[in-house]
Structure 1
């Protein structure tokens, strides 16, 4: 709290014509609210996930910002209904990821030589997520490898700490004969190199869709946390591809449904279903075009309205 107060005082001493907060809502909204009270215009870039779990934050947001810059098109309508000005400016990932990616190039980069199929396993970015998902994904990979010859698994971990959690879990499974490659970083390469991605719910599901890859979305947590989130949640979907298309286009195996039997069976089903994968390619390309906007131009137009 003291850090925020010190930062607020520094900002006020500068007497800005405009303040732009970027993401980090739990940190930024308090500062933005104080600045707005002082008559300083406030723009916030990247909306919190009000559409998923925390819709009750709209009142706080209205007190904190004059204009919200959103990265998903449907967010603008939510803010409009709450009488908060908002502009959809596009998603940065859609700008960074090419419309047509090169799987062979990614496989060469990761030195994948002999593999009938490549499956990426993304257990999440936080240590708690990796702890919950590591054994589940190893068990699922073991089941899949019994049914597909020469299948290779890629596991990109974001930090050395998450790498250690997964590798220790893998080491305990000495019976599992898997061709599995653990990576620190390289999530984009692993997704791009894959024929299928098994991914914990989060931003990685969007990245997977933008690389036009079939996926299975998973998530596990404590029973208490799950019950709380179920009560707070008001959308039927949790994964971004399903939310953006407003329909179940990718499977979501959550909590009690997230078992190695369910995951491995669904993986085999997807890999055998060429028409389904072709339809996914069409739907994911639609998402890419929808999110790929001239972001810098849209941002500058909103900012100029406040400083003229």
Structure 2
């Protein structure tokens, strides 16, 4: 298995749990690239997930591409020698699809978990998926039919997090666990888990927090940090003078989302998690200008946040690159916290939409995924 970042590590751990439940009498040996959640399920991580957690299409990636290719080549050589029953690549398509294609060409069955967003950007990637994956496990119900049009076998397995996150999250319980006041608003700041996100996005978020604290002095701020980024985040908090005002959490992003009234959040899987927690959000992203230009060229839709893509509408605001000023980010957060009738109606409408989304993504993911993997492992399953 290969999972390339914090969100993929969580998804992969849930998949591993389901596989072990499906084959309780079978010894499951899983190894490759993964994080702490996978390791808690008995996964042997030869490299940690954060080694793959890069983003962008210029300097950020190019300066590390040789190391990534070396890891992929080394792992591929090992797997061709060991001949596993199945290889499962979890997201990270730029890394996994090439590895899957190589393994599949040598007769190893491959499963790709999380369909690349060919319906949102880079539609040409469908050709790589067809060559790489024996089967695709899809998180969204419309994806298998789309892949079938291109001759790719796929199964909708639901989104595992839709079964983990409660339909009605208990904010009060989460606040008690985090020792937060229940009579003051809470903002969750989620800048992402990649080093480039901490570099380009977190400073904007912290300046927005400074702006908000002038408007709402009693505002409580929680900031989850993955272990690999904690030191750099602490440095930025100290430099901004916010060390005493921001509750820095070790992981615990779900608890932060459960406790908050609104989240200031990086575009990515976390935006769907925030939607499943029924939380208003302000989505943002910032990267090297050359990378941003390249991604705009490949983008097929006007939205980048998963909730907006799934609803095909700007149900939550997106502020990207130069538009992500501290004042704009802060005002967008402030708009969600308003006590007037318009703001209350806006929050109520969003909550209904997110409940409907949550219900549409619920399925017995562990069972559906294990059944699909069993089909791939069967002798009559085509490579």
Whether the TM-score (by the shorter chain) exceeds 0.5 is: yes
Aligned: 1:299 with 2:369: yes
* Aligned with 1:172 (options 235, 239, 242): 239
* Equivalent residue number for residue 284 of structure 1: 354
Partner SS state of residue 3, structure 1: helix
The separation in 1 between residues aligned to 2:320 and 2:269, in whole angstroms, is: 16
SS in 2 for 1:198: strand
* Equivalent in the alignment of 2:144: 76
CA distance in structure 2 between the aligned counterparts of 1:3 and 1:83, rounded to whole angstroms: 28
1:152 to 197, 220, 224: 220
How far residue 271 of structure 1 moved from its aligned partner, in angstroms, is: 1.1
Partners of 2:78 and 2:107 lie apart in 1 by: 19
- Give aligned pairs, total: 301
**What residue number does 1:255 align with?**
321
> Does the Cα contact within 8 Å between 1:8 and 1:31 map onto a contact in 2?
no
- Aligned partners of 1:69 and 1:89 also within 8 Å: yes
**Residue 222 (structure 2) pairs with residue 119 (structure 1):** no
After TM superposition, the structure 1 = structure 2 runs for residues 75-154 of structure 1, keeping only pairs within 5 Å, are 75-113=143-181, 115-154=183-222
1:58 to partner: Cα distance = 1.2
Q: Which digits, 9 at most, give the CA deviation of each residue in 1:137-156, with x for residues without a partner?
A: 12111111122241111111
Alignment of 1:5-44 (within 5 A): 5-11=77-83, 16=85, 19-23=86-90, 24-37=92-105, 41-44=109-112
Once the two structures are TM-superposed, the CA of residue 31 in structure 1 deviates from its matched residue by 4.7
**What SS does the aligned partner of 1:236 have?**
coil
Return closer, same or farther for 1:211/1:271 CA change in 2, 3 Å cut-off.
same
Unaligned runs of 5+ in 2: 1-72
Give distance in 2, aligned partners of 1:27 and 1:282.
Answer: 37
Give ranges in structure 1 of 5+ residues lacking alignment. none
C-alpha distance in structure 2 between counterparts of 1:263 and 1:282, whole Å: 24
1:159-308 aligned at under 5 Å gives the runs 159=227, 161-174=228-241, 179-272=245-338, 273-306=343-376, 307=378
1:40, distance to aligned residue in structure 2 (A): 5.5
- With normalisation by structure 1, the TM-score equals 0.90
Q: Is the 8 A contact 1:115 1:151 kept in 2?
A: no
